[in-house]
Structure 1
Amino acid sequence: MNAIKTAKNLLRQELKAKLNGLSNEEKARQSQAVQTKVLQHDLYKKSKRLSIFLSMHDEINTDLILRDALGAGKAVYIPRYDSKSTYMDMVRLKSWEEYDALPMTKWKIKQPPLDQDREQALGSGGLDLILVPGLGFSKAGHRMGRGRGYYDTYLAKCRAAQEHPPNTIALAFIEQVLPEIPIEETDVPIDIILSAE
């Protein structure tokens, strides 16, 4: 394993411990602040086709954004991961009721089954905005995910498939924003990082 991968793994452990130390109240407070910033952001307001990640317990909660986007008539896409590979697609979600009915994965996030036929974002016109999760972020826009490369792979696919690549906004707890993080060639930088401060 190279030095960067080792450094990333150590940092991931450190960040997970930090996030596990946050109380539910503190996570809710920061989630509220970050979601409000997203809803007020021009890129979100202008977006017509966007992807919203469904949050895990140690990520900024995205329920408010999901409700708002569905209510505003935006075309909303959510991630569908294949846990056996680095494959992820973004599939259409049409209503809150449909979201409610989705099954849970082993990661405790809702997701449509892989074998279910659903409209995919890149097959039907692409995306103009992607809200991105992660474990660590630098102020310069670098992102460190959980090590599987789902988003880096997908963002590279979007850049290859779309004439105008989607804008990206990462949602972060204050504890996840660091002066710098180790990066590799395959890491795709994020346009904007929104945290609660």
Structure 2
Amino acid sequence: MAALRAVKQALRKEIKRRVALLSVEEKLRQSHVVSQKLFRHPQYVSCKRIAVFLSMDDEVCTKEIIRDAFKWGKSCFIPRYEMGSHHMDMLKLHSEQDMDSLPLTSWNIRQPAEDDHSREEALAAGGLDLILMPGLGFDRSGKRLGRGKGFYDTYLERCIRHPKGKPYTIALAFREQLCQDIPVDHNDVLIDEVLYEDDGL
């Protein structure tokens, strides 16, 4: 266990180093390419209820995706992380303006306030069709390296127990976040697909 943790830590450091070398323009360019690939994806086209992460500086930018989801009338859910635990809820976002008015956390990401009880939680109602997954690193077989907090793995376990079952999961990645092989343990849930800019584009 300790050995696996050490390998993951070293890999996190290496990927963070690679992504840190990308210019803002390059990150936005790759984000646009990945977003366009997503918009053509049958799982995205057909989904009604989608969970989207609000991106940090070292992640594929999701603003364009949230705008598109509202344009097509999809129900959009965003994470609220509980600091100091592994618990995360996916709460309904009402509009782009709603997103801009959310408070900032200590991680510099926007999320609904702890005392905001007015929002629908995705699993309390109709479940989710699609979850867009953040992460630090990915490999082509669907293994994912998160930030070590376990929020998404824990949430996916909850989704699996929901009557609707596990939603389709798509990770959004910069090319620099792809690895040959990500080390995983039994708690790590595999993702269905990783979207990134490949040479076929």
**TM-score scaled to structure 2, two decimals?**
0.96
* Distance in 2, Cα, partners of 1:153 & 1:159: 10
Match of 2:166 in 1: 165
Match of 1:42 in 2: 42
CA shift, 1:165, in A, is 1.4
Match of 2:31 in 1: 31
CA shift, 1:112, in A, is 0.5
Give the alignment of 1:121-160 within 5 angstroms. Answer: 121-160=122-161
* Distance in 2, Cα, partners of 1:24 & 1:12: 20
CA shift, 1:191, in A, is 0.2
* Distance in 1, Cα, partners of 2:110 & 2:187: 27
* Distance in 2, Cα, partners of 1:25 & 1:95: 26
| Aligned CA-pair RMSD | 0.9
* Distance in 1, Cα, partners of 2:193 & 2:94: 26
* Distance in 2, Cα, partners of 1:162 & 1:168: 17
* Distance in 1, Cα, partners of 2:120 & 2:110: 17
The one-letter amino acid of 1:115's match is D
Unpaired runs of 5+ in structure 2?
Answer: none
Match of 2:7 in 1: 7
Asked whether 1:84 is paired with 2:84, we answer yes
Give the alignment of 1:54-133 within 5 angstroms. Answer: 54-117=54-117, 118-133=119-134
Query: Which string of whole-angstrom CA distances, capped at 9 and with x for unpartnered residues, describes residues 5-63 of structure 1?
Result: 11001100111111111111110111010011111111000000110000000000000
Q: Aligned with 1:178: secondary structure?
A: coil
CA shift, 1:126, in A, is 0.3
* Distance in 2, Cα, partners of 1:74 & 1:163: 17
CA shift, 1:160, in A, is 1.1
CA shift, 1:164, in A, is 3.0
* Distance in 2, Cα, partners of 1:128 & 1:27: 27
Unpaired runs of 5+ in structure 1?
Answer: none
* Distance in 2, Cα, partners of 1:158 & 1:173: 26
CA shift, 1:159, in A, is 0.4
* Distance in 1, Cα, partners of 2:189 & 2:39: 24
Runs of 4+ in 1 over 6 A off after TM superposition: none
The one-letter amino acid of 2:157's match is A
CA shift, 1:163, in A, is 3.6
Percent identity between the aligned chains? 49
The one-letter amino acid of 2:146's match is G
Match of 1:179 in 2: 180
**TM-score scaled to structure 1, two decimals?**
0.98
